Amino acid sequence: MSITITAFERSPDGGQGLARDTRVRWALEEVGQAYTVRLVSFQALKEPAHLALHPFGQIPTYEEGDLVLFETGAIVFHVAQRYPGLLPTDANARARAITWMFAALSTVEPPILELGIARIADGDKPWSKERLPLVQGRVRDRLKPLVSRLSAADWLDGAFSAGDLMMVSVLLRLRPSGILAEFPSLAAYVARGEARPAYKRAFDAQLAVNTRPAE
Ligand SMILES: N[C@@H](CCC(=O)N[C@@H](CS)C(=O)NCC(=O)O)C(=O)O
């Protein structure tokens, strides 16, 4: 069954791979599934045709036959369940890998997103200078348990899994802040993720979209 995902017509990051279609592309590359991409403008995100796929008017979405999904957690989980390559076969190891996916999205990503808002969206507010160190501190606190986990291991729990795919994707969003570089074992972990051929294919595909000449 053919798979179609949506991505920004032009990502605000200019192709650094931070838009969330990259996670979905990466998962599909890891499991060797071909996919097509429908590019969506910011305006079209909020129009009925796209809202029928994604109630919050965002990217990415995922269509496979009559199945329509949104939320990268749900999409990557679905891909990992349906196609071999991203989850261990042992039931307990599989449950732990899924736990790491949730940890990435619900424990690690929120303070990282908050930091992005504090640095960029709220950067011009009179109180932003006072608030920024507090938000940075919350991010660092969330990273420390990952450091102890990854200082002597390549991946979070045995072999690379969907849990690592999601954690690396979330941590990549920290790079512009400089905080990732403060934690060499985490920076090395992210670099291991980026070095995977499947990640490179996903990254290059989104970069090609975002660097193509304007029509
Ligand atoms: N929790 C959602 C977040 C999706 C999301 O924030 N998508 C961004 C792009 S990375 C978007 O579409 N932003 C445009 C908007 O919200 O209008 C997921 O993981 O899929």
- Model confidence over 96-116: pLDDT tens digits? 999 999 999 999 999 999 999
- The distance in angstroms from the start CA to the end CA of the chain is 31
Whether the upstream peptide bond of residue 111 has omega within 30° of 0, thus cis, is no
Residue 215 pLDDT > 80: no
What is the spatial distance between Cα 88 and Cα 157, in angstroms, rounded to a whole number?
10
* pTM (two decimals): 0.97
Say how many Å lie between the CA of residue 34 and the centre of ligand 1. 23
Structure confidence at residue 129 as a pLDDT band (50, 70, 90) = confident
Ligand 1 close to Cβ of residue 54 (< 6 A): no
Ligand 1 close to Cβ of residue 18 (< 6 A): no
60: left (phi over 0), alpha (psi -120 to 50) or beta: beta
Ligand 1 close to Cβ of residue 122 (< 6 A): no
Q: Which two tokens stand for residue 28?
A: 């599909």
pLDDT tens-digit map of 23-62: 999 999 999 999 999 999 999 999 999 999 999 999 999 9
Q: What is the mean pLDDT of residues 113-130?
A: 89
- Ligand 1 mutation pick, 11, 26, 58, 71, max ligand atoms within 8 A of CB: 58
What is the spatial distance between Cα 180 and Cα 86, in angstroms, rounded to a whole number?
25
- Report which secondary-structure segment, H or E, holds 148: helix 128-150
Ligand 1 close to Cβ of residue 71 (< 6 A): yes
Sign of CA dihedral 116, 121, 123, 127: negative
